[in-house]
A and B are shown apart, each in its own frame.
Chain A
């Protein structure tokens, strides 16, 4: 396959950035999207140019490092996959592909397609945990969690923190991300003791990071590689409302 790529190139945080066109020749349908970019980068380096920078690591859809807007879709076409799981057989010979970084005030571009998602970590530090000390913990079976509850908590906990929800949302809202943690810990008995403080602090931090507000378009759920449901956002909202009383 031969493809035309329009890739966002930006030197650093302060650079204005622009689209640059590249031709990717001899793309095999078995390649993953990132492997296709590897091939383009090898050519660039050989020509003495700087390669396209993007975050990636595990390349099996679990570390949450990779993420880019591919033809206007977070992680590209296809449901329930991260960019590294997208394969070139989803495209046809002669296609043009527009590749952009996640765009959000809370995710400033560091270089090319690499963005700074430390705002997510700062939200997590604002109470996205139980204050369990190391050691001195009673037996695991002393806390009973029926299977349906454990399963639902797991569904929320499956979040990989890639930022696709923010990228896809017309408002750059981080509600799905925040709700995944709040909902997981709200469902489990272990999380109940600190629920008021947790939801209050995490929401405050989310606002401080300049994420937008949820307007319930559910674009996040549609693009989430782990298909986390917006019912967790409803639970987050419930926790938040309850925390006001």
Chain B
């Protein structure tokens, strides 16, 4: 397959405005005739559905939750970037573009990233108009703070709940359109297949999660904004229901999957407390500003932290990185913590954690000052672990929390299936191999409010659509295959629960396809993963029936798809013989242990094609061209 990224001609900063002018428009009177399905109601999905509805299209919005407001965008904490230069510190669209490209370790498209930087300012204005209560100063002006990977203060925030406030803003815009009748909303409907008619995406098949009915919906355009796939690791900071089913089934219908191995691991999460653990909780990495990371010098030291004398502690980040100390970048901090635990220096009951100690900071600044800065985070930690971080060091461990990979899309955010648009975390664009903090919210809303509405109009105006019938052959075939897979899952009646399989699969993914990857480990994973999958299909036990609320069945569908996607991640990680951003191949590192890229061989997007058989994908490459910035070795020294 030849990949056409459709990047417009012209200088970088003119590409988007030129393209907007060149795109075709749909007459306002005709828009009602076009039907658009939007799957997912997070930042990207809700903003797209609202904006398209407002333009006058006939929009149908689907989500598997009871309400659009439950989407996992709600859990984002930190903030959203925009180069408004309110801080007068020299920020500009170009600087945000540059930081993002560099942060992504030169594995993203220049044109996409520049466009994102261009629209990011509008996002802030839009959200303000919706009534998002951004942090303000006493004079009433918007407040900014600085964030990782940037030297300017360009992050807008609403306490530690920025994602919540932005999502509620998009939710209110969506509500306004539902109220106006331009958007029809379907709650508790899970998309289980994409229907392609004559080579174009023309509808979806869903399962009604209340009564189990398998239903078809036709459309002229299908938009997927269904989020990332970090739950393939079982334990992640994603919500329990976050899944890859929509994008994976679209992939199996022909959409290419871009850079699946790019996953981001966050260093400061609350560690696993036992086998019962169902998910992980992130703690803002700002804690490393004042906390010191250490492990005991002695392997398997079982003493309480406070009983280990100073000279028997290894402040390993300060030892290994004297200049950056505890403030090394996310990926380095994560990998070092794993190293320490792998070598037997881990702490806590599970031995899979390191200490983050505030004792020195409390001594130096006083308890009050620490409370002022980190009070809510330390409270959250106490709530979950039952330990008081003012008294004993916190235990932390890295966890998966974002996936940069996703369905391949061109500059118009259209996948390799015409008429299938993919927005937000579900697509692969913009973040390259590593996402900077406060960029995910920016991308989701940028795609939904300011990019997709234009490019979808262009697609609609440029194509002719013959009518399709929800009772037609393609739809019936898709319904039948969904029904068959539901019935198959229910008929197995084996001995292990879905969660048990998911946990086992996630452990292999984490151990061999997680933070540190190597050839032997990946090859081992590629032996283990298919074996677990085949056991799953023989031995999973799901009770209840198909025509009812059946949460085990819902999970089983999602886990079945993760069990195919996991293999693709491992294949992609094995093929990418370099380290870049979140993808760390132990064979490819600098002497200091940093990621070592191989631009000659791997400066491309790996877009994988489904060939009809899991574990046997076909690689397509989209070469990355850098005209404006020159890829260099990232250095944190």
Contact = CB atoms under 8 A, between A and B. Distances in A.
Interface string B262-286: 0000000000011011110100000
Interface centre among B67, B138, B495 (most CB of A within 10 A): B67
B187 A59 contact: no
B239 to A, nearest CB: 4
A143 B273 CA distance: 47
B589 interface: no
Given A161-B69, A191-B131, A146 B161 contact: no
Contacts of A85: 383-384
Interface stretch (B169-177, B314-322, B505-513): B169-177
Interface in A26-56: 28-32, 34-36, 38-39, 42, 44-46, 48-51, 53, 55-56
A199 B128 CA distance: 21
A48 B122 contact: no
Interface residues on A, range: 35 or more
B86 interface: yes
Contacts of A149: 136, 140
B428 interface: no
B386 A89 contact: yes
Nearest to B173: A129
A129 B172 CA distance: 5
Interface string B535-556: 0000001111000111110000
Interface stretch (B30-38, B70-78, B572-580): B70-78
B136 A150 contact: yes
B450 interface: yes
A157 B167 CA distance: 11
B292 interface: no
Contacts of B240: 56-59
B543 A59 contact: no
B383 A125 contact: no
A71 interface: no
A105 interface: no
B66 interface: yes
B541 A45 contact: yes
Contacts of A28: 273-274, 276
Interface in A172-196: 184-185, 188, 190-191
A64 B47 CA distance: 20
A59 B274 contact: no
Contacts of B210: 110
Contacts of B277: 35
A134 B70 contact: no
A contacts with B: majority SS: loop
Contact of B129 (A59, A81, A111, A137): A137
Contacts of A157: 131-133, 158, 165, 168
A130 interface: yes
A58 B552 contact: no
A157 B74 CA distance: 13
A128 B602 CA distance: 49
A66 B147 CA distance: 32
Given A118-B187, A129-B130, A158-B161, A45 B140 contact: no
Contacts of B159: 154
Contacts of A210: none
Contacts of A131: 176
Contact of A116 (B66, B84, B86): B66
A137 B128 contact: yes
- Which bracket fits the contact residues of B? 35 or more
Contact of B67 (A58, A117, A138, A158): A117
A160 B171 CA distance: 12
Q: B72, B133, B499 — which one has the most chain A CB atoms within 10 A of its CB? A: B133
B135 to A, nearest CB: 7
A62 interface: yes
B179 A63 contact: no
Contacts of A158: 161, 164
Contacts of A50: 543-544, 550
A140 B141 CA distance: 8
B620 interface: no
Contacts of A146: 136, 138-140
B549 A111 contact: yes
Nearest to A133: B54
B551 A53 contact: yes
A137 B175 contact: no
A30 B385 contact: yes
A152 B133 CA distance: 9
Interface in A121-151: 121, 124-135, 137-141, 143-151
A28 B71 CA distance: 30
Given A62-B74, A63-B70, 4 more contacts: A51-B551, A134-B54, A154-B159, A190-B128
Interface of B: 47, 50-51, 54, 65-72, 74-75, 84, 86, 122, 124-142, 158-159, 161, 164-165, 168, 171-173, 175-176, 178-179, 187, 210, 239-241, 273-274, 276-279, 281, 383-386, 449-450, 453, 495, 497, 499-500, 541-544, 548-552
Interface of A: 12, 28-32, 34-36, 38-39, 42, 44-46, 48-51, 53, 55-60, 62-65, 81, 85, 87, 89, 110-111, 114, 116-118, 120-121, 124-135, 137-141, 143-151, 153-154, 157-158, 160-161, 184-185, 188, 190-191
